[in-house]
Amino acid sequence: MILSHITKQYRGTRALDDLSLDIEEGKITAVLGESGAGKTTLLSCIMGLLPFEGEIDGVSGKKPKRRKDCSYLFQDALLLPNLTAEENIAFVLPTGMGERIKEMLARVGLEGKENAYPHELSGGEKQRVSIARAFLYPHTLLLMDEPFSSLDLALKRSLMELVRKLREEEGGTVLFVTHDVQEAAFLAERALVLHRGKLIGDLPIAAPQPRDFLSPPEEARELARILLDSGEIK
Ligand code: ADP
């Protein structure tokens, strides 16, 4: 996917500033940046939720259309409270996928919880349901916006490893927004750094998978340095 000269201006704020970049197919690309850098705005433009100046794959952003070929994973699991785990997934899929849903729920560690309602699941289990749903929904691009940010460390490691493994088995292109260098260094094959709507870093992360959560690849230091150099104390 090629993003060319994307500018997004809110009233008074230039959230994306003439941003050009490519998202390589079949890779996990992280977008790192401090709060307010423009990460979520970038995802919204890609999702077709906001008009913007510039083009994505040659298509102008002036009259955006919501993309149907994207799957999402957000910080909040976004489950409907009156549907079971299985029904929450079936809700977004074509009919007749019951067996595949059961199989995927087992792969994410929720065997036996198919008929549980969200209030009967822990925070981690709810996020497992949303991970299962994100991978089952037919997509060409998986967009992840800080899905691990609110988790405690053990759960974060466990769910990041789950996403890594599913992505390895299923393949596909992933765009992963995070403010956390350790998360980017654990999952991504390439990290982009945003600052005030501009690209200030673009680093391949070549370390083989699976990676050790406690010993991040050396690129993590370089990413932290780029972020710290750009940072301002507010
Ligand atoms: P990030 O996801 O990196 O924290 P955002 O994309 O949410 O950054 O925000 C980028 C900038 O745009 C910030 O300065 C933010 O205050 C501003 N912004 C985001 N959404 C809106 C909006 N709906 N209206 C006005 N300003 C916004």
Is residue 137 within 8 A of residue 93, CB to CB? The reply is yes
pTM: 0.94
Does residue 232 surpass a pLDDT of 90? Answer: no
Does residue 181 surpass a pLDDT of 70? Answer: yes
pLDDT at res. 12: 87
Query: Does the C-beta of 105 come closer than 6 Å to ligand 1?
Result: no
**Distance in Å, CA 122 to ligand 1 centroid:** 30
Which mutation among 13, 16, 35 tests ligand 1's pocket best, with the greatest number of atoms within 8 A of CB? 13
pLDDT at res. 231: 77
Does residue 233 surpass a pLDDT of 70? Answer: no
Rounded to the nearest integer, the mean pLDDT of the chain is 95
Atom of ligand 1 nearest to the CA of 8: 12
Tell me which amino acid residue 32 is: L
In sequence order, the β-bridge partners of residue 16 are: 8
* Predicted confidence (pLDDT) per residue in 142-168, tens digit: 999 999 998 999 999 999 999 999 999
* Predicted confidence (pLDDT) per residue in 107-149, tens digit: 999 999 999 999 999 999 999 999 999 999 999 999 999 999 9
Does residue 61 surpass a pLDDT of 90? Answer: yes
Residue of the nearest CA to atom 7 in ligand 1? Answer: 40
Q: Report residue 197's pLDDT band, with 50, 70 and 90 as the boundaries.
A: very high
Atom of ligand 1 nearest to the CA of 42: 6
Q: Give the max Cα distance, the chain.
A: 53
Atom of ligand 1 nearest to the CA of 177: 2
Residue of the nearest CA to atom 20 in ligand 1? Answer: 41
Query: Does the C-beta of 13 come closer than 6 Å to ligand 1?
Result: yes
